[in-house]
Amino acid sequence: MKLERITAAIADEFDLDSAALEGPIRSSSLRPLVRDARQALCLLARRHASSSLAELSEALKLSHAVILHGEARAKARLVDDEMFCQAVNNIERRLAEPDVSMQELSKVIAQLSRIASKLQCVAKDVKAVIEAHNPKCAKSKQKSGQK
């Protein structure tokens, strides 16, 4: 799973800008909220991102030690902080949903519809060729009253 998707889900859950999750905390008034979001990010990025610790460190502009400490704190908080646990569960549910927009789905449905239409035309052509080369099929069809 891409780190950007995890970061976006966490930023959305904690009502933060994704940039707040990277680098030093810029606002002391947001410190507890950003800390919580970063701990969730460290935990979920390590669980779900297809990135190494070094890649996570570079992408998040945080040291390896900060990421590992954040992951450890998040694991501990899952046991005794109900609100944090609920937030992490909400994020994981969101991450489990398919990462497909309605626009992408509409495109796929339109493509499948065109393919189905072409297959129907091909099936009619194949049926006509079979009937043309096999007179018995055409005769039995006429006897049964089908066209």
Total domains in the chain come to 2
* Shared domain check, 117 and 133: yes
Span 95-130, pLDDT tens digits: 998 876 667 778 888 899 999 888 998 888 888 888
The answer on pLDDT for 145 being more than 60 is no
> By residue range, what is the domain housing residue 125?
102-144
Are 141 and 132 in contact, with CB atoms under 8 Å apart?
no
Report the CATH number that the domain containing residue 21 is assigned in CATH.
1.10.1750.10
Dig out the tokens for 123 from the structure. 């099936």
pTM strictly above 0.85? no
* Shared domain check, 78 and 10: yes
* Shared domain check, 28 and 92: yes
Span 40-68, pLDDT tens digits: 999 999 999 888 899 989 988 889 999 99
- Burial (CB < 10 A; 0-12, 13-18, 19+), residue 90, is middle
* Shared domain check, 130 and 79: no
